């Protein structure tokens, strides 16, 4: 068995610019980092909050 095709890793907001990911994925990640306190407290966010509507 070889290495994983899609290795999983955690990254902070400060590393988003250096990652090889689609630009829309990067934008959603930035938006999620902006709401991380709400999410950590068990709250929910809307697509509008993320700027997706």
The shares of helix, strand and coil residues in the chain, as percent rounded to the nearest 5, are 45, 0, 55
What does the pLDDT read at residue 1? 77
Classify residue 10: in a domain, yes or no: no
Please, what sign has the CA dihedral across residues 24, 30, 31, 37? positive
What does the pLDDT read at residue 19? 93
What does the pLDDT read at residue 6? 77
Domain tally, the chain: 1
Distance CA 23, CA 45 (A): 21
Q: pLDDT per residue over 1-53, tens digit each? A: 787 777 788 999 999 999 999 999 999 899 889 888 988 999 888 888 777 76
Classify residue 15: in a domain, yes or no: no
Classify residue 48: in a domain, yes or no: yes
What does the pLDDT read at residue 3? 78
Range of 32's domain? 21-53
Classify residue 32: in a domain, yes or no: yes
């Amino acid at each position: 068995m070889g290495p994983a095709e899609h290795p999983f890793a955690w990254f902070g907001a400060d590393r988003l610019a250096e990652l090889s990911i689609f630009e829309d994925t990067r934008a959603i990640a930035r938006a999620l980092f902006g709401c991380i306190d709400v999410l950590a407290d068990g709250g929910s966010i809307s697509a509008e909050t993320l700027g997706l509507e």
